[in-house]
């Protein structure tokens, strides 16, 4: 088996850090960027090789990698808690950057695509379902948003008590519910219809409106309002 070349044996122009300084970050591969975050290799593998194996564990997809739990990253030989935490932190910063770019401050919500744009940085690439609430005032400006629940299976049951309490605390007029379908198909199932009817009824009992329920996948969404889904009591 050939000996692994240590990073210090590479020419300066090919080492990830020096390469970035000389040519810019866009010149680096995914593995090289990850290698900069992870910093060091092991006695058997240099850090770029470890980064390549981490990418392979996520099928070469940064979206899939961003959804990996810290414990799953550590299943890759050469990655301990420090490296896994560093990579996870970098992806979280990326999500927050995208959320800032997607903010709707000073804008009135007028259609479901605005909700999709607001939430996709947080929900893209997840392998489990999450349900979020977006609280709106009378003019449909965003007062805030929060995660109501997170599930490990194919469905999520929202914390209705939390939703109602926080809706009243924020003195909102309406609520938008958003959840993701990791399967990639945003079309709601019967359980989604039942859950939406339950939330709509509970909000209505407090004089609040369920403005929409938007189901998102990585590249598309389904809006109950756009599709004119009228929720009957028998769902």
Angle at which helix 16-23 crosses helix 30-38, to 10 degrees, equals: 120
C-alpha to C-alpha distance for 226 and 104, rounded to whole angstroms: 20
In order, the DSSP letters of 199-230 are HHHHHHTTT-EEEEEEEE-SS-EEETTTTT--
Under 8 Å between Cβ of 58 and 68: yes
Under 8 Å between Cβ of 150 and 123: no
pLDDT band at 230 (very low <50, low <70, confident <90, very high): low
Structure confidence by residue, pLDDT tens digits, 144-163: 999 998 874 444 455 888 89
Structure confidence by residue, pLDDT tens digits, 49-94: 999 999 999 999 998 999 899 999 999 999 999 999 999 999 999 9
Using the CB atoms, write b or e for 91-106: b if 16+ within 10 Å: beeeeeeeeeeeebee
Order of strands across the sheet that contains 130-136: 142-150, 130-136, 174-180, 209-216, 221-223
Hey, what domains does the chain have and what are their CATH numbers?
7-99 (1.10.150), 105-223 (3.40.140.10)
Under 8 Å between Cβ of 10 and 42: no
């Amino acid at each position: 088996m050939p000996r692994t070349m240590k990073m210090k044996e590479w020419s300066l122009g090919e080492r990830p850090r020096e390469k970035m300084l000389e040519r810019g970050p866009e010149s680096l591969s995914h593995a090289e960027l990850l290698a900069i975050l992870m910093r060091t290799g092991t006695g058997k593998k240099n850090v770029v090789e470890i980064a390549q194996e981490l990418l392979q564990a996520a099928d070469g997809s940064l979206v899939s990698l961003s959804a990996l739990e810290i414990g799953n990253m550590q299943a890759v030989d050469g990655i301990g808690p420090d490296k896994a935490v560093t990579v996870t932190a970098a992806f979280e910063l990326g999500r927050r950057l995208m959320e800032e770019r997607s903010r709707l401050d000073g804008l009135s919500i007028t259609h479901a695509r605005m909700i999709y744009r607001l939430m996709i940085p947080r929900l893209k690439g997840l392998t489990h379902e999450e349900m979020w609430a977006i609280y709106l005032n009378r003019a449909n400006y965003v007062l805030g948003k929060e995660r109501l629940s997170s599930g490990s299976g194919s469905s999520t049951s929202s914390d209705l008590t939390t939703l109602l309490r926080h809706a009243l605390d924020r003195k909102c007029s309406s609520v938008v519910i958003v959840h993701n379908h990791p399967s990639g198909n945003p079309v709601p199932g019967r359980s989604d219809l039942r859950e939406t009817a339950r939330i709509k009824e509970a909000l209505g009992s407090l004089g609040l409106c369920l403005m929409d329920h938007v189901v998102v996948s990585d590249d598309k969404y389904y809006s109950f309002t756009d599709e004119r889904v009228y929720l009957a009591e028998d769902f």
